[in-house]
Amino acid sequence: MTLGRLPPLNPLRAFEATARHGSVTAAARELNVTHGAISHQIKALEAILDVQLFERGAQRLKLTPQGALLLPTVSKAFEDIASTTALIKRPTTSGELTVTCVPALLSLWLIPRMNQFTEQYPDIRLTLIASNEPDHLRSADVDVCVLYGHGNWTDCWIRLWTTLKLFPVASPTLLNMRPLRSVRDLRNHVLLHGDDGREWNTWLAAADATEHARGAQHFMSDARLSTEAAVYGQGVALGDTITASNLIAKGELIVPFDLTVPANNAFYVACRNEVRNAPIVKVFIDWLFASLEADTITEPQTSARRIIRRRNGKVSAPERLAAPPSIPTTRPRRPDRTQKRRAKIDTR
């Protein structure tokens, strides 16, 4: 059907309200017209389409197969019109903006930079929700989603924000008490998981250590909790190049091994197609990418060791680990063994 052959708006509104309520009377009350006016509009729509939309005679109106086919499209069209109308009336860079974000990224990256956004856009009131649930992309109550995953969500606007590399992290206090001189020493530490174990399995496979004995393990719902547990000296967690960077730079975490592995998933910024060009959404998304680009990745172990030396007045066990002063990108050579296939990572 071309745009010139679309049914008139009023009959479609009468049909949608009647089908939703299952009652002509209720539809008339909602649209503030008479019972007869609703009946007339529905009959006019049936005449235009040359089909019957309701089965008449029962106490509650029932849709015909043709009516059931038409209803979802008409309902979505009215929802889209209402949503877009609200955006048109919305002030350009002021008002409320609701953002869902991966818990670890929200706590460890976004919130520390929130003042920068507020200084640029003081009239925008943020509502931040810790969540990695893609279903928020379909919610009219959410404006922007920052998700960790595969990026294959449909019927929405999506853009890759950044990829990640994973590596073990631990607190200086823990490593002062219980050094990590080799991968085998991990059996003397608690492994902290921010998922079901697949990310650690990936790193251990890259280190040719899947067959090594393991000590205690704790599993947590997301990487934010496992990272915080590592900061408190509860064990060794897997950090990443984004959420752990500030903690490493401040010396609250140390990278003990010269080995990183790429995460199979990545961070994405996404939103509903109809809100992408809303000024208030656009400025936030642009700020996210600009802030990431402005970030400077420090040399984590150099920073951490400097703090340890200043606190203790001496070189500690972590400082003697055979690792270069920056997060590495390649694994050390192992002439007698081959690298095993890395496990898939589904969540972060």
Percent of the chain with pLDDT over 90: 52
Asked if 19 and 83 sit in the same domain, the reply is yes
Asked if 20 and 138 sit in the same domain, the reply is no
| SS3 of residue 127 by DSSP | strand
Give the tens place of pLDDT for each residue, 22-41: 888 888 999 999 989 989 99
Structure tokens that stand for 232 in this block: 């408190």
Q: What is the 3-state secondary structure (H, E, C) of 279-294?
A: HHHHHHHHHHHHHHHH
Q: Is the pLDDT of residue 328 over 50?
A: no
Asked if 85 and 101 sit in the same domain, the reply is no
Residue 55 has what pLDDT?
86
Range ranked top by mean pLDDT from 127-131, 184-188, 203-207: 127-131
Average pLDDT rounded to a whole number, residues 143-147: 97
Give the tens place of pLDDT for each residue, 249-274: 899 999 999 899 999 899 999 999 98
Residue 343 has what pLDDT?
34
Range of the domain at 156: 94-300
Give the tens place of pLDDT for each residue, 45-89: 989 999 999 887 656 678 899 989 999 999 888 888 877 776 666
**Nearby residues of 103 by Cβ (< 8 Å), 6 or more positions away:** 130, 131, 132, 222, 223, 224, 225
Please say which residue of 54, 89, 124 terminates a domain.
89
Domain count, the chain: 2
DSSP 248-288: HHTTSSB--SS--EE-SSEEEEEE-GGGTT-HHHHHHHHHH
CA distance 152 to 326: 33
Range ranked top by mean pLDDT from 5-9, 305-309, 331-335: 5-9
Report whether 298 contacts 248 (CB < 8 A): yes
- 326: how many CB neighbours lie within 10 A of its CB? 14
Report whether 306 contacts 131 (CB < 8 A): no
Residue 303 has what pLDDT?
38
Q: Is residue 315 part of a domain?
A: no
Residue 151 has what pLDDT?
92
pTM strictly above 0.85:
no
Q: Is residue 144 part of a domain?
A: yes
Please say which residue of 300, 327, 343 terminates a domain.
300
Asked if 193 and 145 sit in the same domain, the reply is yes
Q: Is the pLDDT of residue 336 over 50?
A: no
Q: Is the pLDDT of residue 319 over 50?
A: no
Residue 181 has what pLDDT?
87
Q: Which residue has the higher pLDDT, 324 or 87?
A: 87
- Grade residue 95 by pLDDT with cuts at 50, 70 and 90: confident
Residue 268 belongs to domain with CATH number:
3.40.190.290
HSE toward the beta carbon, residue 118, CA cutoff 13 A: 9
Worst-scoring range by mean pLDDT, 94-98, 136-140, 172-176, 325-329?
Answer: 325-329
Q: Is residue 338 part of a domain?
A: no
Q: Is residue 120 part of a domain?
A: yes
Q: Is residue 179 part of a domain?
A: yes
Asked if 164 and 133 sit in the same domain, the reply is yes
Phi, psi (degrees; rounded to nearest 5) at 227: -65, -45
Q: Is residue 307 part of a domain?
A: no
Helix (H) or strand (E) holding 101: strand 95-101
Asked if 144 and 292 sit in the same domain, the reply is yes
Worst-scoring range by mean pLDDT, 1-10, 174-183, 188-197, 301-310?
Answer: 301-310
Asked if 281 and 170 sit in the same domain, the reply is yes
Q: Is residue 341 part of a domain?
A: no
How far is C-alpha 295 from the chain's CA centre?
A: 20
Asked if 72 and 132 sit in the same domain, the reply is no
Q: Is residue 145 part of a domain?
A: yes
Asked if 68 and 158 sit in the same domain, the reply is no
Asked if 258 and 191 sit in the same domain, the reply is yes
CA distance 90 to 99: 17
Residue 57 belongs to domain with CATH number:
1.10.10.10
**Nearby residues of 136 by Cβ (< 8 Å), 6 or more positions away:** 100, 129, 142, 145
Q: Which residue has the higher pLDDT, 339 or 11?
A: 11
Q: Is the pLDDT of residue 235 over 70?
A: yes
Asked if 49 and 102 sit in the same domain, the reply is no
Asked if 60 and 144 sit in the same domain, the reply is no
Please say which residue of 277, 300, 323 terminates a domain.
300
